[in-house]
Structure formats: C-alpha cells, structure tokens
Copies of this chain bind each other. A is one copy, B any other.
Amino acid sequence: MQSRTPVGRAGRPRSAAADTAILAATRQALVELGWSKLTLGDVATRAGVAKTTLYRRWAGKNELVVDAVAELFAELELPDRGSLAADIEGVVLQFAAILALPEARSGLMAVVAESTRDEALRARIRASIVEPQKHLVLEGRTRAQTRGELPPETDPDSSARTAELIFDVIAGAVVHRALVSSEPVDMDWSRDFTRLLLNGLTSPPTT
C-alpha cells in the first residue's frame, strides 16, 4: 500500500542450489537420454525443481546444455611435461577424455549444430566453452619458446593468426577423429598427430 522500492533487491532471492542441481541433472539426462530425448520437464523433475524455475533462468534447451557442458571443459589445463610434443600429446588426451563422456559428446555437437542458425547461441558457445581453452595454445607456445623449441614471435598479427589456426587444427582433428571417424584417440594416435603437427607432411614419419 505504501511501497517505494528503496534499493536493489526486493522479493525472495533465487535459490543458488537450484542452479547447481539443474546443471547436474542436465548432464545426467544427457548421459541417459542424449540430446534429442532430453526434455526440460524431465530435467526439472530430476533436479527436484519446477519447470517454471528452469524457464525463469534459461531461455531453452540450447542455453541450458551450453552451460551444463561448459563446466565439463572448464577443467582442461596444460601440465608441463617437459617438451612441446609431450605437452601437446597431454592436452590432446585430456580433451579426448572429455569427449569420451556421453554428456559431452551428445551435448556439444548438438548445440554446435543449433548454433548454425542462431548467432546468439554461437556467441554463447564461444564465450563459455571455446574461448576459455585458447589460453592452452598460448601457454604452450610461450613455454616452447622459453625452452627454445620454437622461435620468438616477430609479427604480432601473424602470431595471433597462427594461434587461431593451431587451435582449430587441434580441436578439429580430435573432434573429427572421436565423433565422426569414431576411432579411439589413444596414445598412438596422439603421438602420430603431434608428429604431423610439429614436422608436417613433407618430413616423413619415422615410425
């Protein structure tokens, strides 16, 4: 009757626990059902939450799955294994381990597919999942330069372009091997791939 909202917050605050429960439930549903049979009603039930609560926080299935999958990739890091080749092999295997998780396989490609017609979704995927991994390439290069395995950068523009290129090559090759060719990304493949990346086609493999 008198009102006058004095400052920022009014009303009951959103439950922080709900977010956690919903994202976990989403991953569980991805494992059991896969992307296309996952329903938001089912996720809500698993999370012990009402469907409306879910819709209040995410615009739809796509956005929800992006967030759920992003948490899986957040743990990637670049351990120092002593040489550039060993560092690359290590990160390739880590990446492959994540792609072996059903919740990642099913969810990741589906949102990428959806993003071909939705610029906002594409941006969200890049911001939440892809960009945060690019530091791996930059760190790896800096470390290799420190070791003297790679020459220092001269042209900053070329430097950035090359980093992007390497990222696309590594990420693309691993994803294609794992999800399209459907063959294992194991230590053998990782070694072959790394040798190709470092030496190129014209320096023949020395198997």
Contact = CB atoms under 8 A, between A and B. Distances in A.
Contacts of A182: 122, 126
A84 B196 CA distance: 16
A201 B106 contact: no
Main SS of the interface on chain A? helix
A108 B114 CA distance: 11
Contacts of A117: 34, 102, 106
A4 to B, nearest CB: 12
How many chain copies does the complex carry?
Answer: 4
Interface residues of A, number: 66
A102 B1 CA distance: 28
Contacts of A130: 180-181
A207 B205 CA distance: 26
A164 B180 contact: no
Closest 3 CB pairs of A and B: A200-B200, A172-B176, A172-B172
30 contacts: A1-B48, A1-B49, A105-B116, A106-B117, A110-B110, A110-B113, A113-B113, A115-B179, A122-B182, A125-B180, A126-B180, A150-B202, A151-B204, A158-B207, A161-B192, A166-B196, A168-B176, A169-B172, A169-B173, A169-B193, A171-B176, A172-B173, A172-B175, A172-B176, A172-B180, A196-B197, A197-B200, A198-B200, A198-B202, A200-B203
